[in-house]
Chain A
Amino acid sequence: MPSNKEDEGMGLCAGAFMGGMKPAIVMQNTALGVVVNTLATLIQFYQIPLPMLISYRGEVGEPVACQVEMALHTKAILNLLHIPTYHFHKPEDAAELPGILEYARMASKPVVILCDASFWRASARSVTTYFRR
């Protein structure tokens, strides 16, 4: 379900989890500053498992300079909040996803997977090739 803001999206996830689903959120690292309160006082406070697939903007290859400003704070914010963080660089790394999802559920915590632009780009190519076949 698309939401307009990332804290809103985490509220949707919390409700869906309490309703028996296994939600995850897909968002951009740029919005990590938006969700600090939600992570601390909803997701962590109530011990809600939340896999977070986060596109990692502002790194090498980024065309928009302003994105770099939040890239500088991405890992620092996650460290500050003690959020376990994993990192997908290449499409093959996606094989780790089931383990990370189970880990989040077992730990009842938010768990981040930072996904590089190179990951999305190479994955898109694989998907295009798959559909052409």
Chain B
Amino acid sequence: MDDQPSNFYMLGTMGLASSIGLGLAAAQDKPVVAIDGDGSVLTNLGTLATIGNNPQGNFTLLIIDNRSYGSTGDQPTYAGMKTDLAAVARACGAENVQTVSAEDTAEAVKAAIASDVMTIIVSKCESGNVKVPVIKTNPIVIRERFMEEVRR
């Protein structure tokens, strides 16, 4: 998970990571993993209907569900209250939705990448952030090195 050209960092547009990932998965054959948060998915719930109705076998959506808006001070989201994102994903037509613990997430993601069936993984985590620096890489550099990696 270290910084590498095959990571695309979406620095703005909260909510669109899953849409970008789905578009990328539809456009080419390499496996795509979109990593998003519960707060982000809640800003773009329609994405789950688009994903459910356009399944891509090479696409994995990993939702890190810590029931909080982590980057603004851990305010609680509705995903920690009455809203069950895995149930929403199933109701939107996604056929392979898994809820896993933080400890089981790595194995679940590896299995999802290895399979040719689209998978949505909801990873239940504790809130709280590891101290990491803000990404300062130029966005064009991020995109160009990513696209070069996709083309390889």
Contacts and interface: CB of A to CB of B under 8 A. Distances in A.
Interface in B2-32: 8, 10-13, 15-28
A12 interface: yes
B49 interface: yes
A45 interface: yes
A37 interface: yes
A46 B25 CA distance: 19
A2 B46 CA distance: 11
Given A1-B54, A45-B12, A46-B143, A20 B46 contact: no
A38 B147 CA distance: 20
B114 interface: no
B11 A45 contact: yes
A19 B23 contact: yes
A13 B10 CA distance: 14
Contacts of A19: 23-28, 150
Given A8-B44, A8-B46, A42 B22 contact: no
A30 B71 CA distance: 32
Contacts of B143: 18, 46-48
Interface size, B (range): 20 to 34
B139 interface: yes
A5 B15 CA distance: 12
Given A7-B16, A20-B28, A47-B143, A41 B23 contact: no
A16 interface: yes
Contact of A5 (B24, B27, B44, B147): B44
B98 interface: no
Interface centre among A9, A18, A45 (most CB of B within 10 A): A18
Given A11-B20, A38-B13, A16 B27 contact: yes
A15 B27 CA distance: 8
